[in-house]
Amino acid sequence: MQGIVTKSTGSWYKVLVDGNEVDARLRGKIRTLNLKSTNPVVVGDVVVLDQDGGEYLIKEIEERQNCIVRKSNKLSKQYQIIAANIDRAFLIVSPAKPYTPQGFIDRFLATAEAYHVPVTILLNKSDLDSKKAVLYREHLMELYPSVGYEIYNVSFLDSDDISRIQKSIGSQRVLLAGNSGVGKSTLINAILPESNQKVSAISSSYHKGRHTTTFAQMFLGENGSKIIDTPGIKDFGMVQTEPNQVSHYFPEMRSRLSGCKYNNCLHTEEPDCKILKAVEKQEIAVTRYVNYLSILEEVTV
Ligand SMILES: Nc1nc2c(ncn2[C@@H]2O[C@H](COP(=O)(O)OP(=O)(O)OP(=O)(O)O)[C@@H](O)[C@H]2O)c(=O)[nH]1
Ligand SMILES: [Mg+2]
Ligand SMILES: [Zn+2]
């Protein structure tokens, strides 16, 4: 029988089979996909199950259409798959309490481009009105539409915003991503009150990396939609990328690449580089370019 993994703790799994969630374990030897990941089975995976007595065993994983991946840590060659087979991702960011740096946003966007996952940015906590929050919000709201990303200024405490978000989910399978404390579980609770996800009060402990949600979990919504809550991610490292691929993951660079003199241009100091010219003319945002350079540096090491 076949099912979809809805929760993975590393030692046991929840799998949705014919509308029911069952507990399952991994069979000792599994036909794994060719991936150096720290977690062989992830939320969203389609798996084949066997029943052994009363126990369900996962014996096979179907090939993934896509996945969102992060490096276990900056130096490691290993990586962790956050979820698989998703239609789109909502990147939830917050202008303050906690602050989501633009570097984090650009890394996530580039990772999603690499795996062909469309992203909508939900700029949450629109009720925060400190000077810093307002300025940063204005910056993000201007920047991202100009490079082709959808971004919405919302509050998950506002029921009108919640119904708009719910409408936009339709029947899709959506991953919620974002740093700890931005409101991922708050959104799940607003859409699916019966899910009762733990949320925590905003406090200074976010800076010490407290995480309220500890495992990714898929929730079943209206119209067959599936929403995946994930633990807050501190940082993304680009994985499995050649240096000359990185500019393909920035839409405003991708559309200009044919203008560079050299095919293998990395857009750092080459002559006749269309990207460098566009940065000089402020047609490409310097903040995006700087984040491009930092990803480039990381994959070149
Ligand atoms: N002011 C304000 N607070 C919000 C809003 N949305 C969520 N919060 C609060 O932000 C805090 C953290 O929310 P969570 O939903 O736990 O955040 P999370 O992204 O799930 O965090 P992790 O599970 O640690 O990754 C809670 O106290 C929420 O009430 C909002 O629109 N405005
Ligand atoms: Mg959470
Ligand atoms: Zn170039």
CA of 178 to the centre of ligand 2 (A): 10
Check residue 73 and give its pLDDT: 61
Looking at per-residue confidence, does 266 or 222 come out higher?
266
> Is ligand 1 within 6 A of the CB of residue 198?
no
176: confidence class by pLDDT, cuts 50, 70, 90: very high
* Confidence at residue 206, expressed as pLDDT on a 0 to 100 scale: 47
> What is the set of domains in the chain, with CATH numbers?
2-61 (2.40.50.140), 77-229 (3.40.50.300), 243-300 (1.10.40.50)
**Range 88-93 average pLDDT:** 97
Q: Which residue has the higher pLDDT, 44 or 76?
A: 44
pLDDT for res 295: 92
The residue with greater pLDDT, 53 or 182, is: 182
Nearest residue to 213 via CA among 225, 195, 226: 195
- The pairing of strands 217-220 and 20-31 is unpaired
Does the C-beta of 182 come closer than 6 Å to ligand 1?
yes
Which atom of ligand 1 is found nearest the CA of 178? 19
- If one residue of 104, 126, 127, 182 were mutated to test the ligand 1 pocket, choosing by the most ligand atoms within 8 A of its CB, it would be 182
Average pLDDT over residues 16-30: 86
* Residue of 198, 200, 207, 210 to mutate, ligand 1, most atoms within 8 A of C-beta: 200
Ligand 1 atom with least separation from CA of 188: 15
185 lines ligand 1 (CB under 6 A): yes
Which atom of ligand 1 approaches the CA of 176 most closely? Answer: 19
Residue range 140-159, pLDDT digits in tens: 999 999 999 999 999 999 99
Mean pLDDT value of segment 60-84: 80
Q: Calculate how far, in angstroms, residue 97's C-alpha sits from the geometric centre of ligand 3.
A: 38
DSSP codes, the chain = -EEEEEEE-SS-EEEEETTEEEEEEEEEEEE--S--BS-SS-TT-EEEEEEETTEEEEEEEPPPS-EEEEESSTT-S-EEEEEES-SEEEEEE-SSSS---HHHHHHHHHHHHHTT--EEEEE--TT---HHHHHHHHHHHHHHHHTT-EEEE--TT-HHHHHHHHHHHTT-EEEEE-STTSSHHHHHHHH-GGG--------GGGGGT--S--S-EEEE-GGG-EEEE----S-----S--GGGGGGGSHHHHTTGGGSSSTT--SSS-TT-HHHHHHHTTSS-HHHHHHHHHHHHHHH-
Ligand 2 centroid from CA 184, angstroms: 5
Quick one: pLDDT at residue 54?
Answer: 84
Contact 90 CB / ligand 1 (< 6 Å): no
Cα–Cα distance measured from residue 132 to residue 136, given in angstroms and rounded to the nearest whole number: 6
Residue 27 has pLDDT above 50, yes or no: yes
Closest CA to 86 of 214, 225, 232: 225
The torsion angle over the Cα atoms of residues 260, 263, 268 and 273, rounded to 10 degrees, is -10
**Residue 97 above 60 pLDDT?**
yes
Residue of 123, 157, 184, 199 to test ligand 1 pocket, by largest number of atoms within 8 Å of CB: 199
Determine if ligand 1 sits within 6 Å of the CB of residue 95.
Answer: no
pTM for the model: 0.92
Summarised one tens digit per residue, pLDDT across range 121-131 is 999 999 999 99
> Residue 87: pLDDT above 90?
yes
Residues 191-234: pLDDT tens digits?
987 877 777 666 544 444 566 677 889 999 888 899 999 888 77
Per-residue pLDDT averaged across 248-258, rounded? 97
Q: Measuring from atom 7 of ligand 1, which residue has the nearest CA?
A: 183
Dihedral of alpha carbons 190, 195, 196, 198, sign: negative
